[in-house]
Amino acid sequence: MDNDIIPALVQQLYLEKCLDGSRMKLLLGSEFDDDILFNRADDVRRQIYGKDVYLRGLIEFTNFCRNDCLYCGIRRNNRNASRYRLTTEEILACCKEGYSLGYRTFVLQGGEDMYYTDKNICSIVSRIKESYPDCAVTLSIGERSYESYKAYRNAGADRYLLRHETAVDSHYSKLHPAGMSLENRKRCLYYLKELGFQTGSGFMVGSPFQTLDYILADLEFLKELMPDMIGIGPFIPHRDTPFGEYKAGNLRLTLRLISVLRLMFPYALIPSTTALGTIHPLGREMGLRAGANVVMPNLSPVDVREKYALYNDKICTGEESAQCRECLEKRIDAAGYRAVTDIGNVKRI
């Protein structure tokens, strides 16, 4: 392979914020010194966000789920999962601790657990907003109706995370049970945007059956959606799922994709994910250096953390929230960035 072409591809991606399929495949798939790509993504991120890394306190409030996604450890059919739900008071206690640690965004994430009615979710959101009006509340609770999303928005929710997982219909069907569809996923994402949520989407890297062409489709879909936040992380098998024997996603490809996303979406809030930190001890630091600018430390009570196991060997399950906060600050510093306690809204340019 003639590698002289790589700097030209990076430059084109930087200038035009897209690349045609064959060029993107070269950038993702050929052998070259990754720093060419990572450094350019880091330049772009510094131009817009400087050295700032935003912290989002993640509260995993239920691991009950009505869905049965084949990759996910908390899928309904995993009888080995030990299920839990946090009460409103427990969630508020997490926020209280998070606030004192400097977090100004709380991300409420859970399985699709219909035990929490719209009324319940709205009351949790509005109680958090009443207590911490200077904070953003992000929901990550899956597919619900337009009316439900609207109610959450009216209750004060600011942001919503819903990864599309894969933008290829046939691939979506291989990762999800019958009854779930890419079409509905996309519909939900457009509802969220319409309702004025800062919206996040994304996909797993190296999920079973994924090809580079599928990843190109993911990038194309994201271009169409123009989300404010984009979360990607390597697929990691969970032993109690049908994909338990599949291999994990590739670190290098994940990092390259973080850089590509930074160049395509300069303004985006891109987390360096827990999954990235799970497949490599310095994965999150590498993610930041490749262009990510968000980390989502765990704020869930320590006694439930092991139970929110989407995949095996997840990190940060033993640490108290304060330890996690301190650990992350050090890691962010060591990578050459600065943890900030700003609410960290998207900077549209």
**Residues in the site for ligand 5AD, rule: CB under 6 A?**
71-72, 163, 165, 204, 233, 235-236, 238, 275, 310-311
Pick 71 or 106: Cβ nearer ligand 5AD: 71
C-alpha span between 179 and 67 (Å, rounded): 10
Tell whether residue 288 is a contact of ligand FES (CB under 6 A): no
289-to-26, 95, 211, 270 alpha-carbon distances in Å: 21, 29, 25, 12
Pick 200 or 266: Cβ nearer ligand 5AD: 200
Q: How far is the CB of 324 from ligand FES (least distance, A)?
A: 3
Tell whether residue 324 is a contact of ligand FES (CB under 6 A): yes
Residue nearest to ligand FES (CB): 327
User: Residues 61, 64, 66, CA angle at the centre, nearest 5°?
Assistant: 130
C-alpha span between 61 and 86 (Å, rounded): 5
Pick 67 or 321: Cβ nearer ligand FES: 321
From the list ligand FES, ligand 5AD, none, partner contacted by residue 240 (C-beta under 5 to 8 A by kind): none
Q: Where are the alpha helices (DSSP H) in the chain?
A: 5-16, 21-29, 35-49, 88-100, 118-131, 146-155, 169-175, 182-194, 212-225, 251-264, 274-279, 283-289, 302-305, 321-334
Stretch binding ligand FES (CB under 6 A), from 45-53, 57-65, 185-193, 315-323? 315-323
Pick 227 or 277: Cβ nearer ligand FES: 277
Pick 206 or 297: Cβ nearer ligand FES: 297
Tell whether residue 328 is a contact of ligand FES (CB under 6 A): yes
- Whose CA is closest to 227, among 279, 178, 174, 270? 270
The Cβ of residue 50 has, within 10 Å, a number of other Cβ atoms equal to 12
Tell whether residue 297 is a contact of ligand FES (CB under 6 A): yes
Q: Of 152-171, which residues contact ligand FES (CB under 6 A)?
A: none
